[in-house]
A and B are shown apart, each in its own frame.
Chain A
Amino acid sequence: MHFARVLGSVVSTRKVEPLTGYRLLWVQPTDARGRDRGEPLVAVDTGQYGEGEWVYFVTSREASLPLRDPFCPVDAAVVGKIDRVDLAGEEPRRTPEALR
């Protein structure tokens, strides 16, 4: 799983049937210290995650497993919210760097 912060959401009304009812989040991957890394992407929201939150996501085949239809065509899904990251010898981090 990979670290990311939620930039916002993507609204799409006309989409494939298995995605009906799911929110799409626009996320920016980060490293373990919450610094932005790489390019933003769109991931399915499998919980109730929101803008500004520090989350983690799973990619490829496993992204569709939390959905009603496990054969849904998605390749990224946010599966949890980060409360805290503890790295050896460093202060605990609770928010991504961009929001500190």
Chain B
Amino acid sequence: MILSRVVGTLTSTDKDPELAEYKILVVQPLSPEAEGDRFDLVDEGEELLAVDRVDAGEGDVVLVVKEGNSARQITGRPRVPLQAVVIGVVDRVDRLETARG
């Protein structure tokens, strides 16, 4: 799973019928960047389109699974053409003292 920030929403009416009922979010993957004693989550790489399963909103930091078998399990659809699913809203990320570089 990866950490991402929800940056937008997608509107799409003409799509694969297996995707018809899902809300699709634009998510920006994040990566921790240390700066002295603190760290920030900064944008890393390209935006993805992910199906929302937790009612996430713009600005939320979320957990995104990027694997097809998980997507099939979560949706209960064995033939859904999907990998990325938002499966959690992140409240907080803590960093261990020993992880400080």
Contacts and interface: CB of A to CB of B under 8 A. Distances in A.
B31 to A, nearest CB: 17
Nearest to B57: A88
A85 B8 contact: yes
Interface of B: 7-16, 18-19, 24, 26, 46-50, 58-59, 68, 71, 79-84
Interface residues of A, number: 31
Given A1-B49, A32-B26, A62-B71, A86 B83 contact: no
Contacts, number: 90
Interface of A: 1-3, 29, 31-32, 37-38, 46-47, 56, 58-63, 65-66, 70, 77, 79-88
From DSSP, what is the main secondary structure of chain B's interface residues? Answer: mixed
4 smallest beta-carbon distances between A and B, as pairs: A80-B15, A87-B8, A1-B49, A84-B11
Given A32-B7, A86-B9, A88-B7, A1 B46 contact: no
A2 B48 contact: yes
Given A56-B10, A77-B81, A85-B10, 18 more contacts: A1-B49, A1-B50, A1-B84, A3-B47, A29-B46, A32-B7, A32-B26, A56-B12, A58-B82, A60-B83, A62-B68, A66-B79, A80-B16, A82-B10, A83-B14, A84-B11, A85-B26, A88-B7
